Amino acid sequence: MADSDQSTTTEKKKREAAERAPMPHVDFAATLERPADGDPATYHVAGWRGCPFFQKTADVVGAMSALYPESVTRELHEFPDRDAFRAWLAASADAIAAHFGGADARAATHTSSPFVWANSRGFIGGCDDTLALFRSGISAQSLAAPIAAPAVASAEAVAPAAADDDAATYDFDLIVIGGGSGGLACSKEAAKFGKKVCVLDYVKPSPAGTAWGLGGTCVNVGCIPKKLMHQSALIGETLHKDSAAFGWRVGAQTFDWATLLLSVNKYIKSINFQYKVELRTKKVKYENLLGSFEDAHTLTLWHPKKGTKTVTARDVVIAVGGRPRPLACAGGELAISSDDIFWRKQEPGKTLVVGASYVALECAGFLKGMGYDVTVMVRSILLRGFDQDMAAKIGEYMETESQIAFIRGVVPQSIAKLESGQLLVKWVSADGDACEDTFDTVLNATGRDPDVAALGLDKAGVQLNPETGRVWVTNEQTSTPNIYAIGDVIDAPELTPVAIQAGRLLARRLYDNATELMDYDKVCTAVFTPIEYGCCGLSEEASIERLGEANVEVFHQNFTPLEWSLSDARPGASTCYVKVICDTSRDKLVVGFHYLGPNAGEVTQAIGLAMKLGFTYSQMVDVVGIHPTTAEIFTTLEVTKSSGESADAGGC
């Protein structure tokens, strides 16, 4: 059959199926009954399934419902295609005119998807009309109120400035430069105390042209999309390695990058929107502008399409985070970074990941898990700053079990784009041999630098640490007394929860007479490599350096998760590993906790509390474990490294 004939037949079948599909019936009279006092308003969104404007509106209304469940509910009227939606509009013309026409003549002439109305407001319009409604001024009360209700104060009407003489001379009590996790947390906390707050967040596009919405690195190009893509890889691993042994008979499973990307990006955009709503609700002014200091209290705000303006603030918090370090080789600009991979529509294909950081290994891991050919090029050690015993085990697992190729002791010499669109990468091996290979994608993950170059810090007297390039602070206060810094821009753990906690505590000290300081010690973290790693406290190397080898005892054990025990495709007993590092001079106080295995983040989280409280080895093994779990292994640790005995587990 010719392609044109086959296409015609397919379209005919689609039309026939649409005609056979029951037409959703909408009782407009019932949907327009006013909500009773205290009941949420129902927002109705009608449109056809493949329409991006219908999907966007449905997502926005869904986000509002999640934020304000007491005020908003969502009801979708979804049609299989454009023709079915238009047929419904035509069939409903009389009902639409009868119920909406008198109050809003637009309803009778509205023919595009979506068609939106609410029982508290009548006809709203399409996608742009719905977004405009939510942007015009949002509160829980206004969402459920009739359309004729008095307008809510707009986002411009933020809380008044503090009454003290100093604050009265400035436009804002606080300006936060950076709309990432730390900056948003700090700004919202300050607003709780009646302060007039502004958040500046302009995302400079990456060299590859990628930009994103409000929320910073974690939400847009970091923790959130990384964890979701890691989860996709884990699902594939379960399908291929475990499903048959557990009795499941599944057909051929294929991976589709476009589908995953659409799902991840859709979720991220919903978070971007929720953040804007939260700022408006808490009366924090949001400006999509880049801020640069003119002096300690004055900033010039700039946007390439909006021009410049000047504002003043009594206090300023720098929370701009970091950006990927450029790849230092000829053609390095042809490489993408973690700022791009989570938004890149082009399928990665055969990929070279350059770097040994957790970003590099995590990206390599999920790409390999999706079925792509992945090579990692590392200059020196893996996971610098982490326990090197654990880092070596991660590298071994990725090479032997994940089948990821590693090229060690080298860096790229050059990258060139071929006529085919592929990238030719050249390097010199550790033995001095000239080498080259072609890749579809080169992902640069060699590190991140603080994003301070455009801030004009010198004009405000803000000093940098010359060794790291990060803002020098004491308890988040910079060398200029009214300017503060939090998050990845300072010399502190580059972790989202750390920035959030530091931002909140700083706001409380500034505006609520609080005294609690941020404790950067004993912070848990996890690395989402193919075999996950969770840790808290000191590495084995740092413990020996700090306490002396004679005062360090390491309890450890290899183990196999029960969930891995049925499949021959899973690795052997020595793959997963735990160790607890103790200070023998202080009753075997636990100073380091390390776990390599499934669900590392979930297993490790509660350990942070135990370490803050100063738990000992005897207290740990005195806990009654939950059986059968991987976490219970910490209640049965007996073998020490110094004994030389086998660390392999036995029994159940």
Instruction: Give the residue numbers marked as catalytic.
Output: 627
Question: What is the H or E stretch that residue 48 is in?
Answer: strand 41-48
Q: Which of 402, 456, 401, 387 is nearest to 572 (CA)?
A: 401
Phi and psi at residue 620, in whole multiples of 5°?
Answer: -65, -50
Which residues, other chains included, contact 643 with Cβ-Cβ below 8 Å and sequence gap of 6+? Answer: none
Q: Which of 71, 63, 6, 85 is nearest to 38 (CA)?
A: 71
Question: What is the H or E stretch that residue 377 is in?
Answer: strand 374-378
What is the rounded distance in angstroms from the CA atom of residue 73 to the CA atom of residue 84? 25
The DSSP string of 132-144 is: HHHHT---HHHHH
Rg (CA), the chain: 28
The DSSP string of 62-117 is: HHHHHH-TTTEEEEEEEESSHHHHHHHHHHTHHHHIIIIITT-THHHH--SSPEEE
Q: Which of 607, 614, 599, 601 is nearest to 634 (CA)?
A: 607
What is the rounded distance in angstroms from the CA atom of residue 115 to the CA atom of residue 101? 14
- Alpha carbon 348 to chain centroid distance? 20
Instruction: Say if CB 379 and CB 410 are below 8 A apart.
Output: yes
Q: Is 176 helix (H, G, I), strand (E, B) or coil?
A: strand
Q: Which of 173, 412, 159 is nearest to 316 (CA)?
A: 173
Q: Is 358 helix (H, G, I), strand (E, B) or coil?
A: helix
Phi and psi at residue 150, in whole multiples of 5°?
Answer: -55, 145
Q: Is 254 exposed, middle or buried (0-12, 13-18, 19+ CB in 10 A)?
A: exposed
Q: Which runs of E-coded beta strand occur in 468-528? A: 483-485, 525-527
Q: Is the peptide bond before 114 cis (omega within 30 degrees of 0)?
A: yes
